[in-house]
Amino acid sequence: MVWNASQAMPFQSRLGIGRQMADSMHAVRRLLLLTVVVLIVPVATCLAAGNDTSAQRRAMVETIQSIQADRPIEAGGSIDQAVLQALRTVPRHEFVPEKLKDQAYANKPLPIGYGQTISQPYIVALMTDLLELRPDEVVFELGTGSGYQAAVLSCLASEVHTMEIVPELAETARQRLKRLGFNNVNVLHGDAYFGLKSKAPFDAIVVTAAAGHIPPPLVRQLKPGGRMVIPVGHPFMTQQLTLVSKDSQGSVSTRHLLPVSFVPLTGQH
């Protein structure tokens, strides 16, 4: 090939195009970097929770798996690995009173004050698994408590909106979740029986207090194809953990899974 000097582009023009190309490549690189950051934020937030009790968390998950092996029907065979990884990651001891931290990873509920409890790890795992969450989904939780269930959900979903009726618990949970870096959790104070219309509909709803019936406002705020897990029954008696499913046409079905014992739902409903 013969190069013709008369066809050569002036130096200044070539320099200007080169700068434009460099600027364009730089902009593309920044866009790709921002895209990666956005995609990994929920995971990074979850991983930032700390590893000082990682051995205890692993042992807790092994206990959950052992229980599930004897009761496979409750979670449709086994609890999803993503759920188990969330439980391995979230520092449960940060969500219990100081005097109970040595029991944080035992498979039992613990009191957190104001007549409320943090559910046992197996129940947290099972209820989370039944929601079948995807990373782009939005969840509503009735009953924040200490914030532990919301923290686990935040590792699996895009957004978690959680409402607590006890103002002191709501504020403590808000501060705790913020301090630990669970930035995709929105903590509100109020009567969650009525849900959160401003953020509805939800892909999934979890109720962490026993209700005498399934709240109609929550059913209405559940998306078609959505799932809700709720303990149903009378206060201070054995209740039934219930899975509520809404199909693509909006029809609702329920399935009782196992007997449980939760603190009662309170409020003005």
pTM: 0.81
Percent of the chain predicted with pLDDT > 90 = 72
Catalytic residue, from 13, 24, 54, 119: name it. 119
pLDDT tier for residue 269 given thresholds of 50, 70 and 90: low
Active site residue 78: no
Q: Is the pLDDT of residue 158 over 60?
A: yes
Tokens read off for 164: 């607590």
When pLDDT is averaged across residues 19-39 and rounded to a whole number, the result is 42
> In the chain, where do the E strands start and end?
110-113, 116-118, 138-142, 159-164, 185-189, 202-207, 222-232, 239-246, 252-260
**Where is 264: in which H helix or E strand?**
none
The domain spans of the chain are 43-51+123-260
pLDDT value, residue 37: 35
Per residue in 62-97, pLDDT (tens digit) is: 999 999 888 766 656 789 999 999 999 999 999 999
Q: Is the pLDDT of residue 113 over 70?
A: yes
Per the CATH hierarchy, to which homologous superfamily does domain 43-51+123-260 belong? Vaccinia Virus protein VP39 (3.40.50.150)
Tokens read off for 77: 């065979």
Which of 143-152, 156-165, 171-180, 232-241 comes out lowest in average pLDDT?
232-241
Q: Is the pLDDT of residue 10 over 70?
A: no
Q: With CA atoms as reference, report the closest residue to 94 among 48, 163, 41, 143.
A: 48
